[in-house]
Amino acid sequence: MNTIYDTIVWLQSQATSHQFPIVQFSGDTDMVTAGWVSLTSIDKPEIVVTQTTAAEHHAIAQGHDGYLQVESRINAALGRTDLRCAWLARVEQSSPMIQGTTFQEFRKSYQPPRLLFRDILGHESLASEASRTTRSEFERGGGKVLVLE
């Protein structure tokens, strides 16, 4: 059975070149994934998946403070200090849109945008996708996903 948190994306820190995992949420509609966040341990291959509170969700819509509130709440609840949120920080377009080209020409030259996330391993740094895997492969490789509902 598939869940909304079955895809693990490995991000690579621009500051340290080390990689860390996050969850890529997916569902039939945005409503299915709204309010879900993942936090990653800076010490081990572990991810905590949870839902935001109404206040956190509202704060996330306003900026990054909501993610920091989630970090604080979940770390306190679990008696930890190592869990961090890697939010989407910036999107860089990889290929310009050229008017007048056919769809086939567009498909040949299209490069998806580059997604840059908060780097949980480097202060004031960003991280980008290095690879992706399934949750089951991640867990078989020694990773752990904890779901707090």
pTM above 0.85, yes or no: yes
The pLDDT assigned to 95 comes to: 67
The number of domains in the chain is 1
pLDDT at 77 (0 to 100): 97
Q: Which residues of the chain have pLDDT under 70?
A: 1-2, 95-97
Distance in angstroms (rounded) separating the CA atoms of residues 135 and 23: 9
* Predicted confidence (pLDDT) per residue in 108-125, tens digit: 878 889 999 999 999 899
Phi, psi angles (nearest 5°) of residue 40? -115, 140
Distance CA 104, CA 30 (A): 29
**35 in a structural domain:** yes
pLDDT of residue 2: 62
d(CA 34, CA 30): 6
**Coil, strand or helix: which one is 120?**
coil
User: What is the distance between the alpha carbons of residues 51 and 148, in angstroms, rounded to a whole number?
Assistant: 8
**Which residues span the domain enclosing 58?**
7-148
Q: Greatest CA span in the chain, whole angstroms?
A: 58
Residues 6+ apart with CB under 8 A from 43: 82
pLDDT at 1: 44
How many Å is the Cα radius of gyration of the chain? 17
- Looking at residue 97, what is its pLDDT? 66
**Quick one: which of 67, 83, 74, 66 has its CA closest to 120?**
83
pLDDT at 149: 81
